[in-house]
Amino acid sequence: MNRRQQQVGMSVLGMLIIVIMAGFFVLSAIRMAPVYFEYLSVRDIVSRAAGDPESVDESIGDIRRKFEAVFHTNQIDGLKAREMEIYRKDGKTYIDARYEVRLPIFWRIDAVLKFDDLFYVIGESAPVDPAVAADRP
């Protein structure tokens, strides 16, 4: 006797769902990539400025003007130099450049990218944990 074997595989509906999901993730990656690459530039600029030994003796206004010039030159739009907090505490100058970006992905779906590792002490090129910096003498 010949029995008819049933074919097992993915239906058209299953394929459509997978294509829609893959398309959503590709669209999300395409929308978020420029913001992430801009963050990499900001992180590089801030870490270089913080690690520069000449910045230790500069005033807060001079440091802010340097950031404005470099951000303008590198076409950084996600973070403005006036939005950064630059302040002195206990003889040290701190740069707080943490920020977040909200961008639309599709219809009512937004993505929030939070860049919170941009807290530096001038004279150190590595980021500092803000909680640890507050406890420092």
Contact indicator for 111, 32 with CB cutoff of 8 Å: yes
Q: Is 133 exposed, middle or buried (0-12, 13-18, 19+ CB in 10 A)?
A: middle
User: Cα–Cα distance between 1 and 105 in angstroms, integer?
Assistant: 57
| Phi, psi at 129, each rounded to 5° | -70, 125
Question: pLDDT tens, 12-47?
Answer: 999 999 999 999 999 999 999 999 999 999 999 999
At 9 the three-state DSSP class reads coil
User: Hey, which residues does 86 pair with through a beta bridge?
Assistant: 95
pLDDT at 3 over 80: no
Q: Tell me the three state secondary structure of residue 129.
A: coil
pTM (predicted TM-score): 0.83
